Amino acid sequence: MEHLLSLNDLSTEEIQDLLKLAEKLKKQNMEGVQHHLLKGRTLGMIFSKSSTRTRVSFEVGMYQLGGYPLFLSSNDIQLGRGETIYDTANVLSRYIDGIMIRTFKQSDVEDLARFGTIPVINGLTDEMHPCQILADLLTVYEHKGKLEGLKLAYIGDGNNVAHSLLHGCAKTGMDIAVASPKGYECTETYVDEAKAAAKTTGSEILMTQDPVEAIANADVIYADTWISMGQEDQKEEKLKIFMPYQINSRLFSKAKEDAIFLHCLPAYRGYEVTEEIIDGPQSVIFDEAENRLHAQKAVLATLLGK
Ligand code: CP
Ligand code: NVA
């Protein structure tokens, strides 16, 4: 594992190893055991979009590992004024030991990895959110004691989070059902990648427009915002189209009785999910947010610790 660009690049074993390491680091953290696995190492964190969880968990994670994180807003570095990815990758490779980037185009993240000589971690693009899904898998594992054989239902927009969930579930043997409105389905390439992985693990993949079909018998229910960063101008139109995909108690009742609710956050209560669900007893959203820290520390230790 040289980079974390897409979960599809990782084998089942690599994902399992990351989850095991995350569990171990989390336990040590709770016991107050220091683990300075990245003493003297530096991580540049480029942000072209807003963030609460990704920024704070990477920054704190790097500190807890004994390293040093640099926050680089794309408004402040020359990348935002048109300096090329090629030059940015080459220059940063001379100063720091790794880059985490949150941006729009997946191809920019891939180019950064291709042109530079240091590990690159995808902190969200329009197409992928691999770090989020590692934290989600850890959360499901903690609450359910296994991944293989469980069913996750994702209800909503077929973009970044859904794509990485398809990869993550297919690679770990979880069944996944994705329900999205017409015109907002997942990109076929990523569905095909997940189906290819599922052939080995035995996961079942269902793509549908029907939220009731998707949620039936699910162990894990997952929502994301309907208005992703950079799509604010589509808000009015999308709110109408997505309303039948709201996760409320009526829809939730079709899942297994002990189903848990996940949301990558930020959440918009009253749109993609109602308060009674997201703030209810089956919601594990804050465990999930916390696990960003532990899962990403495992990624950092694995990539930058060599
Ligand atoms: N879930 C997530 O990536 O949150 P932030 O946008 O706050 O980083
Ligand atoms: N789909 C959302 C995820 C936020 C973590 C977005 O891209 O804004």
User: Binding site membership for L-ornithine: which residues?
Assistant: 160, 224, 228-229
Q: Measured between alpha carbons, how far is 266 from 269 in angstroms, rounded to an integer?
A: 10
The neighbour count for residue 231, using CB atoms within 10 Å, is 14
Are 86 and 93 in contact by the 8 Å Cβ rule? The answer is no
Q: 160 near 127, Cβ under 8 Å?
A: yes
- The ipTM (two decimal places) reads 0.99
What number does the ligand 2 atom closest to the CA of 54 have? 5
CA distance 20 to 9: 18
Q: Which CATH architecture has domain 7-128+292-304?
A: 3-Layer(aba) Sandwich (3.40)
- Residue 202: name the closest of 147, 274, 243 by CA: 147
Express as a percent the part of the chain with pLDDT over 70: 100
Domain with CATH 3.40.50.1370 in the chain: 7-128+292-304, 132-288
Report which ligand 1 atom has the smallest distance to the Cα of 264: 1
CATH of region 132-288: 3.40.50.1370
Show which residues are catalytic. 102, 129, 132, 224, 264, 292
Would you say 247 and 208 are in contact if contact means Cβ atoms under 8 Å apart?
no
Residue 306: pLDDT over 80 = no
**Does residue 240 have a pLDDT over 80?**
yes
Binding residues: 51-54, 78, 102, 129-132, 160, 224, 228-229, 264-265, 292
pLDDT greater than 80 at residue 293: yes
pLDDT, tens digit (0-9, with 9 covering 90-100), for 55-85: 999 999 999 999 999 999 999 999 999 999 9
DSSP class per residue in 21-32: HHHHHHHHHHHT
Instruction: Pick the closest to residue 163 from 119, 200, 202, 124 (CA basis).
Output: 124
Q: Which of 161, 180, 288 to mutate to test the pocket of ligand 2 (most atoms within 8 A of CB)?
A: 161
- Residue among 157, 167, 80, 79 nearest 130 (CA): 167
pLDDT score recorded for residue 242:
98
- Candidates 129, 222, 227, 292: which one to mutate for ligand 2, based on the most atoms within 8 Å of Cβ? 129
Assess whether pLDDT exceeds 90 at residue 250. yes
What pLDDT is recorded for position 6? 98
